[in-house]
Amino acid sequence: MVCRGYTDPELTARAFSPGGWFHTGDLGLLRPDGHLVLTGRLKDIIIRKGENISPQEIEDLIYQDPRVAGVAVVGLPDPVRGERVCAVVERRPGLEPPTLAELAAGCARPG
């Protein structure tokens, strides 16, 4: 089911085509066998159990650990949650990598 629109008419106009189709922001392709394959999103967001999660915010938190040289956060399909959050972390050369528990604690820390 899809809502009929938003309380703000401008948001409704941007989200729906004149024919009434809702623009989800999902990207995909139609296979020759008729199945739709989702390949990405127009906007950078992970949706987990209805919650919108910004990969950029999580990357910024993980980058605060001095042992992290690089990080990419992506959403992976999850049959129960819709998507799960996955972080690919590159450690700084010569340093021990942070543990998952340490990274999770850094993401949970307020402010």
Place of tokens 């999850």: 78
Digits of tens for pLDDT over the chain (111 positions)?
567 888 888 888 888 888 888 887 778 889 999 998 877 767 788 989 989 998 889 999 999 999 999 998 888 888 899 899 999 999 999 999 999 999 999 988 665
Question: Residue 12: is it exposed, middle or buried by C-beta count within 10 angstroms (0-12/13-18/19+)?
Answer: middle
H helices within the chain, ranges in order?
Answer: 9-15, 55-63, 100-108
The token pair that represents 104 in the structure block: 């999770």
Q: What per-residue confidence (pLDDT) applies to 32?
A: 95
Residue 74: which of 40, 50, 102 has the closest Cα?
A: 40
Task: List the domains of the chain with CATH numbers.
Answer: 1-43 (2.30.38.10), 44-111 (3.30.300.30)
